[in-house]
Amino acid sequence: MAKILVTYELKAPGRDYQPVHDYLQGFVGWAKPHPAVYLIKTDVSVADIRDRLKRLVHQDDPVFVVDITSSTWATYNLPKTSEWLNSR
């Protein structure tokens, strides 16, 4: 199983974080070390996690999902981060 780091930012005032929390806390192994950060242990791909989260957040909310056990990663609405990761 991979160890995945997930970060997000719900920008719109009054947004409901609960669907995001429910999804991420649905994984058997998870920790929440920071208000907008989860660590999860799963066999689900970073792209699949990102795609599921895209359905739970507003289209302008950034999402970052990275496999911290390897070098795979996926982002949403974070072009500078994607550019930086692609260039290294």
DSSP H helical ranges for the chain: 18-25, 46-54, 79-86
Model's pTM, two decimal places?
0.83
Alpha carbons within 13 angstroms on the beta-carbon side of residue 13 total: 0
Task: Locate 72 and state its tokens.
Answer: 């795979």
**pLDDT in single tens digits along all 88 residues of the chain:** 999 999 999 888 888 889 999 999 999 889 998 889 999 999 999 999 999 999 999 888 999 999 999 778 888 998 888 887 777 6
Cα distances (angstroms) measured from residue 10 to each of 1, 6, 14, 29, 59: 28, 13, 9, 23, 10
Tokens 């981060």, residue located:
81
